[in-house]
Amino acid sequence: MRAAGLSMPSPPWSRPAPAASQVFGPAPPSISRAPGTTVHAQIEDWLAELISVGRLAPGDRMPTEQDLAAWLEVSRMTLRHALASLARRGLVTRTVGRRGGTFVAESKLEQDLTTLAGFSEQLRRHGMVAGARVLSAAERPAGPVAATALEVAEGSPLYEVRRVRLGDGRPIALEHSLFPAATFPGLLGCRLDGSLYELLEANYGQRPSRARESLEPVTAGVREAEALDVKEGAALMLVERTAYTDEGTPVEFARDLFRGDRTRLVMWTSELPARL
């Protein structure tokens, strides 16, 4: 029962869609129809920019397709193309039915690949609560790829840890990490639902300090989709990583899958110190 004098804010889907002029102002943006550009791409870029600068906040309900298309003076098919592209990028969510509509999605988590920081530390920087759900933890022999990366003999014992990483309780990444058993004896007997890098430092004095990482866009298979709570075929980013200590010893070989709709990978670059 609701307490007297108190009112709870209604969820965004229970409120009617606002008029385009209320959200964006009286005049639509200028749209070029010159050769070499498409109308839907310009609308996509315009809406993406408004989301980026916070003019459209996470959870905001957007105007109806009919109203927004009329305000922009474009066809509904053109507008749908733009909204579909935004949905694929994870910037908006679209639902159908009586309570359906287009809503601004939650902000993406930025993963800075310039410095080696554990997933838990990255989430804390964004004010999010980090968590992990352990799917499996077992010993296995090193295959040729992992053996080369970790500089151990093929068949050497490795500890394999598979986890779903959570941000505020929601799946963000699927981790698959391999550690040399000789370097971390008893690792599988430790709690594995927190930061593994902090665990390696606290129990073994072997915190990774640098890494070689490669990125590859992939799509979710059945098992990945189930673990990450996405549709089969959803866009994912595969990050393959070999992590090293200060002394240059490889201590982790990992293949992590990040949800494309919830993460953005960032790198800082600089000019070479001397021109060749």
Task: Provide DSSP, the chain.
Answer: -PPTT--PPPPGGGSPPPPHHHHH-SSPPP---STT--HHHHHHHHHHHHHHTTSS-TTPBPPPHHHHHHHHTS-HHHHHHHHHHHHHTTSEEEE-STT-EEEEPPPPEEEE-SS---HHHHHHHTT--EEEEEEEEEEEE--HHHHHHHT--TT-EEEEEEEEEEETTEEEEEEEEEEETTTSTTGGGS--SS-HHHHHHHHHS----EEEEEEEEEE--HHHHHHHT--TT-EEEEEEEEEE-TT--EEEEEEEEEETTTEEEE------SS--
- What is the structure's pLDDT at 110? 63
Average pLDDT rounded to a whole number, residues 50-65: 87
Identify which has the larger pLDDT, 137 or 263.
137
Whether 117 has a pLDDT exceeding 70, the answer reads: no
Quote the mean pLDDT of the chain: 84
- What is the structure's pLDDT at 88? 80
147-194 pLDDT, tens per residue? 999 999 999 999 999 999 988 888 989 999 999 999 999 999 999 998
Whether 100 has a pLDDT exceeding 90, the answer reads: no
Whether 120 has a pLDDT exceeding 50, the answer reads: yes
Q: What is the percentage of the chain residues whose pLDDT exceeds 90?
A: 42
Q: pLDDT band at residue 119, thresholds of 50, 70 and 90?
A: low
User: Which range has highest mean pLDDT (6-10, 49-53, 260-264)?
Assistant: 49-53
Which range has the worst mean pLDDT, 30-44, 88-102, 103-117, 123-137?
103-117
- What is the structure's pLDDT at 5? 46
* The model scores a pTM over 0.75: no
